[in-house]
């Protein structure tokens, strides 16, 4: 697989693997052996960039990722995150310097590594100045515990302030054909500062694959069942976008999900999407998207038609939306 460079020199595969769904958010966790098998299949397919977090599980996802990647440690880049509170703090967030240090040490143990390649702040904590957060990660980098610093779902002002203290290698936020909000302000600032972009949910949490429609039901523990954008009414309204992607896919002899990923890859050379899956067949489909080159006409058709479609439904319910501090 082709490589791309995030920020100040972090080279990764053009597509990464978001590992969250193996343990968290899509119903009961996968069997541990199955999770390990999917991650190792990704390595064999050329993926070198793997994304996890202490919050996924919580905790267990880092252990699965660490076990799966142990034989390949010198070939891969592992990203994890700090920033959520598990002690009942009112905001649900905790980026106090002492907590960051504790989380980093715990993540190192769970992952079974000596250094975390990329450590993100999972969500901006309004109670802790971002300068203190960046300064703490800078100290962890100096100590050899972390290589690169990242942010997730941060706004322009926060990105600039953090970057002034410790260069930000990557911003991770949602981005896809059905969530293009980062294009207005975030992407120009990332380009200006030389920061890479790592879109999560590049397939619209599966919706852009065309395998979800108004009749789909979500099982217990599948977070999509709680998201306004996945209400029956929203899915019916948003089907127009899937139909558009499917039309381009049929013309190119590809799958809708592959077109959605190829569209993201065509936006900038410093963008690295991290589609997640717990299925090796879906993994194979996603990896093939890195070889699909959309034409200028394909891109113009997708952009033009998508701009005429108003996507229905909020990304998150209100209590989760409050944690996105832009």
Q: How many domains does the chain have?
A: 1
Question: For residue 306, what pLDDT is reported?
Answer: 87
Other Cβ atoms within 10 Å of 192 Cβ, number: 9
Question: For residue 37, what pLDDT is reported?
Answer: 98
- Show the domain range for 38: 3-204+268-291
Query: What is the H or E stretch that residue 163 is in?
Result: helix 156-165
Q: If 0-12 CB within 10 Å is exposed, 13-18 middle and 19+ buried, where does residue 157 land? A: exposed
Residue 183 in any domain: the answer is yes
Secondary structure letter of residue 225 according to DSSP:
G
The C-alpha atoms of residue 150 and residue 137 are separated, in whole angstroms, by: 9
Question: For residue 326, what pLDDT is reported?
Answer: 54
Residue among 56, 72, 120, 316 flagged as catalytic: 56
CA nearest neighbour of 42 among 62, 4, 2, 13: 13
Residue 240 in any domain: the answer is no
Residue 323 in any domain: the answer is no
316 annotated active-site: no
Non-local CB neighbours of 249 within 8 Å, separated by 6+ positions: 255, 256, 258, 259
Question: For residue 91, what pLDDT is reported?
Answer: 83
Question: For residue 105, what pLDDT is reported?
Answer: 98
In tens digits, the chain (326 residues) has pLDDT values of: 999 999 999 999 999 999 999 999 999 999 999 999 999 999 999 999 999 999 999 999 999 999 999 999 999 999 999 999 998 788 899 999 999 999 999 999 999 999 999 999 999 999 999 999 999 999 999 999 999 999 999 999 999 999 999 999 999 999 999 999 999 999 999 999 999 999 999 999 999 999 999 999 999 999 999 999 999 999 999 999 999 999 999 999 999 999 999 999 999 999 999 999 999 999 999 999 999 999 999 999 999 988 889 999 999 998 888 777 55
CATH number of the domain where residue 158 is located: 3.20.20.100
Residue 257 in any domain: the answer is no
Q: If 0-12 CB within 10 Å is exposed, 13-18 middle and 19+ buried, where does residue 90 land? A: exposed
Residue 176 in any domain: the answer is yes
Question: For residue 313, what pLDDT is reported?
Answer: 95
Instruction: State the pTM of this model.
Output: 0.96
The C-alpha atoms of residue 116 and residue 80 are separated, in whole angstroms, by: 7
Question: For residue 321, what pLDDT is reported?
Answer: 82
Residue 251 in any domain: the answer is no
The C-alpha atoms of residue 154 and residue 151 are separated, in whole angstroms, by: 6
Paired strand residues for 296: none
Residue 316 in any domain: the answer is no
The C-alpha atoms of residue 268 and residue 173 are separated, in whole angstroms, by: 15
The C-alpha atoms of residue 70 and residue 76 are separated, in whole angstroms, by: 10
Residue 43 in any domain: the answer is yes
């Amino acid at each position: 697989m082709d490589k791309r460079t995030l920020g100040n020199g972090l080279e990764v595969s053009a597509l990464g693997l978001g590992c969250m769904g193996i343990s968290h958010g899509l119903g009961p966790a996968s069997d541990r052996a199955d999770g390990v098998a999917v991650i190792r299949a990704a390595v064999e397919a050329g993926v070198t960039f793997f994304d996890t977090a202490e919050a996924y599980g919580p905790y267990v996802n880092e252990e699965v990722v660490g076990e799966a990647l142990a034989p390949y440690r010198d070939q891969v880049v592992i990203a994890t995150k700090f920033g959520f509170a598990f002690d009942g703090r009112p905001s649900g967030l905790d980026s106090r310097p002492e907590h960051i240090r504790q989380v980093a040490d715990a993540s190192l143990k769970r992952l079974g590594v000596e250094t975390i390649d990329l450590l993100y702040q999972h969500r901006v904590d309004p109670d802790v100045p971002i300068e203190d957060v960046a300064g703490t990660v800078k100290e962890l980098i100096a100590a050899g515990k972390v290589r690169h610093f990242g942010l997730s779902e941060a706004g322009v002002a926060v990105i600039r302030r953090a970057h002034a203290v410790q260069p930000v290698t990557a911003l991770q936020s949602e981005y896809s054909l059905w969530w293009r909000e980062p294009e207005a302000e975030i992407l120009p600032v990332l380009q200006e500062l030389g920061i890479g972009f790592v879109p999560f949910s590049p397939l619209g949490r599966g919706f852009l694959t065309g395998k979800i429609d108004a009749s789909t039901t979500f099982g217990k523990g599948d977070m999509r069942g709680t998201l306004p954008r996945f209400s029956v009414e929203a899915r019916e309204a948003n089907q127009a976008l899937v139909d558009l992607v499917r039309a381009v896919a049929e013309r190119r002899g590809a799958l809708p999900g592959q077109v959605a990923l190829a569209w993201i890859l065509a936006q900038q050379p410093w963008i690295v999407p991290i589609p997640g899956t717990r299925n090796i067949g879906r993994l194979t489909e996603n990896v093939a998207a890195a070889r699909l080159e959309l034409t200028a006409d394909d891109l113009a058709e997708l952009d033009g038609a998508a701009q005429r479609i108003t996507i229905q439904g909020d990304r998150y319910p209100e209590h989760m939306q409050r944690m996105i501090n832009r």
